[in-house]
Amino acid sequence: MAYSVNKDTKVATYNGDTYPPTQKTDAKTGNTTLVAKSEAECVEVKKIRDNYPNECLNRLREKRNSLIAQTDWWALGDITMTDAQKNYRQALRDITKTYKTIEEADGNWPTKPK
């Protein structure tokens, strides 16, 4: 894998992708320096970047699950769920088929029936 560092900007390039330097600040003097990422650090950041879409999807699921949980009482034995209520819960379950992040889903959540 190709790894290089721009001596002026301290930006590292690893396998075609760029990785910005780390800013270090000395608490006593306030002086800042830019330190280029090592090859191992670039590998670590690449893993984070690659996994980010999964994280976004998981966060969307967490929010979706929270909204479904708020209507769990509709499914209690002594209550009959209306079609609108059933459709709302199904639409929540299906939202990850259309959207992959909370940002995308924002403004497109199904309307909760009364």
Partner 1 sequence: MTGIVKTDQLQGAQSTTITIPTGNKISITDSATIGTLNATTMRGVTTFADSAVFSGAANITGLLASTVGQNFAPEFIGNLYLAGNTTDACELNGCFTNTHQVYRLIGEVGASWAGESYTKFFFLSGTDTKLASGYYGRGRTYDDASASTDTTQADGGFANINMNQASTGSSIVDMYFYRKQHAYQLLGTAAYHDQGSDRGYQHFGWKNNSALALTGFRLENGAGNNMSAINFSVYGYRLRQNATGEMLGAYQ
Instruction: List Cβ neighbours of 21 (8 Å cut-off, separation of 6 or more).
Output: 9, 10, 11, 12, 34, 35, 36, 37
The rounded distance, in Å, linking the Cα atoms of 99 and 114 is 25
Give the residue with the Cβ less far from partner 1, 94 or 104: 104
The reply on whether position 103 binds partner 1 by CB under 8 A is yes
Give the residue with the Cβ less far from partner 1, 70 or 98: 70
The binder of partner 1 chosen from 1, 2, 16, 26 (CB under 8 A) = 26
Near partner 1 in 71-100, by CB under 8 A = none
Q: Which amino acid is at 60?
A: L
The binder of partner 1 chosen from 30, 76, 111, 114 (CB under 8 A) = 30
Beta-strand pair 32-35/17-19: unpaired
Instruction: Quote the tokens at residue 107.
Output: 């403004």
Binding site for partner 1 (CB under 8 A): 19-28, 30, 34, 45-46, 48-49, 52, 55-56, 59, 62-63, 66-67, 70, 101-106
